[in-house]
Amino acid sequence: MAYGKIVADQIQHSSEGTVGTQYVVSGVAKAWVNFNGTGTIAARDSLNVSSLTDNGTGLYTPNLSSPFANTNFCVTTGSRSETNGYILVDNSYYVSRTVSSCRLATVSDTGGAQDGTWMNVSYLGDLA
Amino acid sequence: MELKELHLFDRLCWAKENLEPHQSDYRVVFEDNVDEPAKVLVPDPNWMACAMHGGILPPVWVYHELERDEKTPGFKKHTRGYLLHETEPMPPMSEEEAIEYLIMKDIPNHIWQTWNEGNKPKMVICKKEQLPQTREWRNAWKIDPNINSKEAA
């Protein structure tokens, strides 16, 4: 099987203007995962994720297959718990952040660790 | 152009579109800090499909090389990312070989290199159904100190 490639610096829409392909490449999520953080945690679907580590109640680390060039990648998160509704995800664990992983912590509105039923995480940045 | 000639990310995107995810029943329990509960590594189904298909994932030593670069004082950005994209990819792996690869990739070196040294195993490969079925006392989970190290292997 052959895998084709189109090389272009810009993409032009018929009426809405032109955009540089570097913006398209830069703006695309390089990894994402939707997982259930309750019970035996499990990914529902993903891209560029090799595994999930369950570190304890409300503590998770998705591990990436294709790592970022540095640790300054952007992580966006959203989460919901079946018992507590919307819960907050802290993805700013810079101490344990590497180019291929970022620890997440989920807490309820009272500040206690809370497992998330619907954990959604996406990553943007430059790959290595 | 062949699959192995694509960048790793492009190979993963191809796999996502073309391979059926493989849900492994294997889990890896490990302890890397006495003050923290046991951690559980869960393989990703899409990644398992890549490992078992072959021709997609780089050898695990590539990740270790990059990890070594990252630990170099003054590290700012990877400059040897080409190792991920240009090294001959791994051939098809069995499910068990894929789990071994994943351990060496995603679990800290000091755990899997010395998993059976000390008073009790620091790492156990098990099946999903062998884990506690509820998360009660999740923050107190530990590897059983009486576990037979042959079973743990």
Amino acid at B70: E
Question: Would you tell me how many other CB atoms lie within 10 Å of the CB of residue B24?
Answer: 22
CA distances from B39 to A10, A100, A127, B105 (A): 46, 18, 27, 15
pLDDT for A39 beyond 60: yes
- Identity of the amino acid at A32: W
Report d(CA B74, CA B77) in Å as an integer.
Answer: 9
Q: Inspect the interface and report whether the beta carbons of A53 and B81 lie closer than 8 Å.
A: no
pTM above 0.90, yes or no: yes
List the single residue in A41, A45, A50 with the smallest CB-CB distance to B106.
Answer: A50
Are the Cβ atoms of A3 and B135 closer than 8 angstroms? no
**Residues of chain B found within 8 Å of residue A39, distances taken between Cβ atoms:** 133-135
Of B46, B81, B84, the CB nearest to A46: B46
Single-letter amino acid code for the residue at A62: P
List beta partners, residue A68.
Answer: A127
Number of structural domains (chain A) is 1
Structural domain contains residue A23? no
Contact B57 A65 (CB under 8 A): yes
Where are the domains positioned within chain B?
A: 3-152
Nearest Cα neighbor of B44 from B62, B31, B27 is B27
Cα–Cα dist B99/B101, whole Å: 5
Size of interface A-B (CB pairs under 8 A): 122
CATH number reported for the structural domain that contains residue A71 in this entry: 2.60.40
- With tokens 């999740």, the residue in question is B138
Residue B40 and residue A54: Cβ atoms within 8 Å?
A: yes
A13-29: average pLDDT: 90
DSSP state of A98: B
* A1 interfacial to chain B (CB closer than 8 Å): yes
pLDDT per residue rounded down to tens, chain B (153 residues) = 789 999 999 999 999 999 999 999 999 999 998 899 999 999 999 999 999 999 999 999 999 999 999 999 999 999 999 999 999 999 999 999 999 999 999 999 999 999 888 888 999 999 999 999 899 999 999 998 888 766 555
Burial B93-121 (b: 16+ CB within 10 A, else e): beeeebbebbbebbbeeebbeebeeeeeb
| A48 interfaces chain B, CB cutoff of 8 Å | yes
Q: Which residues contact B60 (CB under 8 A, 6 or more apart)?
A: B101, B104, B105
ipTM: 0.94
CB-based contact, A7 to chain B, within 8 Å: no
Q: Look at A40 and B128 and tell me if their CB atoms are within 8 Å.
A: yes
Contacts of A107 in chain B (CB under 8 A): none
Tokens of A96: 């344990």
What does each C-alpha distance from B131 to A106, B44, B114 come to in angstroms? 22, 17, 23
The closest of A83, A63, A82, A119 to B40, measured between CA atoms, is A63
Record: contact A39-B70, CB cut-off 8 A: no
Residue range(s) defining the domain that contains residue A65:
29-124
The predicted pLDDT at position B15 comes to 97
In a domain, A17, yes or no: no
How far apart are the CA of B146 and the nearest CA of chain A, in angstroms? 22
Most confident of A16-25, A82-91, B11-20: B11-20
Residue length, chain A?
128
Q: How far is A34 from chain B (nearest CA, A)?
A: 11
Strands A59-64 and A42-47: unpaired
Confidence tier at A8 by pLDDT (50, 70, 90): very high
**Dist. CA B45–CA B21, nearest whole Å:** 5
A14 is a domain residue: no
Residue A16 within a domain:
no
- Asked if residue A6 belongs to a domain, the reply is no
Residue A22 lies in a domain: no
Beta bridge partners of A34: A45, A120
Which of B30, B28, B103 minimizes the C-alpha distance to B60? B103
